[in-house]
Amino acid sequence: MDQGLVSSEIINGIRTITFGHPQSNSLPGEILNKLASEIIHLGSQRDVKVIVLKSVGEKTFCAGASFDELIAIDNFEAGTTFFSGFAKVINACRVVDKLIIGRVQGKAVGGGVGIASAVDYCFATTKADVKLSELAVGIGPFVVGPAVERKIGLSAMSELAIDATAWRSAQWAKEKGLYTEVFDTIEAMDAAIDTLASRLAQSNPEAMAALKRIFWQGTEHWDTLLTERAGISGRLVLSEFTRNAIHAFKTK
């Protein structure tokens, strides 16, 4: 766990993927690549009927990009490669033919909002506030933006992206369509996830796969689009403004 983790387990056709990192479940490049690979791999397994995506702990769901890695980026190629990790995770969620249920137990920031947007059905608790903080450190939610916009619309995504230091409540996220249901406790959320996942595990896999393709129509160009967006972030992260902003953020 010191370097982060990605693990999975299967029970009755329900495959649960868990990611974690000691820094508020932030996402360094290695964890992003492992997470994308695990989603793709499990999506091809016949015994997997539905996927649940979650993070460890009871507090932050995902703090987004690893600031330690952002500070270490010293060239355009390294920056593009790092931000392409978020593209890989979103595209993995998009292309697998299994429905993915998201479990958001706490706050989601930046890339965490992108992951919550990339699942097909998302449960959350009342503590699962959201924020797209990228502009506050001189970048912008370029890679996760298409996934967030697809889920909550351009207006709501713009609100998050422009007012980058403000939190929006879990109820706000539910009203905008990011979360399907919001619960007062983790226990109530997990019970609802178990009920839906068990029901889906007994459903027709071909029907669910066909539904998923319909849900994601119009995103076939995202392999190219998100890579291009990663290049924008990879360039901006090298700017003096962004480097100073990241250092200032870390020293707060």
What's the CA angle centered on 96, arms 92 and 101, to 5 degrees?
85
pLDDT in tens, 27-51: 999 999 999 999 999 988 999 999 9
- The CATH topology of domain 5-185 is 2-enoyl-CoA Hydratase; Chain A, domain 1 (3.90.226)
Q: Where are the beta strands (DSSP E) in 151-217?
A: 181-183
CB within 8 A of 119, min separation 6: which ones?
53, 93, 100, 101, 102
- Average pLDDT estimate for 213-221: 97
pLDDT in tens, 64-97: 998 888 889 999 999 999 999 999 999 999 999 9
- Please count the residues of the chain: 252
Inform me whether the pLDDT recorded for 1 exceeds 80. no
- In terms of DSSP bridges, do strands 5-11 and 50-55 run parallel, antiparallel, or are they unpaired? unpaired
- The rounded distance, in Å, linking the Cα atoms of 23 and 2 is 9
* Number of alpha carbons in the 13 Å side-chain half-sphere of residue 128: 33
pLDDT in tens, 88-138: 999 999 999 999 999 999 999 999 999 999 999 999 999 999 999 999 999
pTM of the model: 0.94
Domain ranges of the chain: 5-185
Ordered alpha helix ranges (H), 141-185: 145-152, 154-162, 170-176
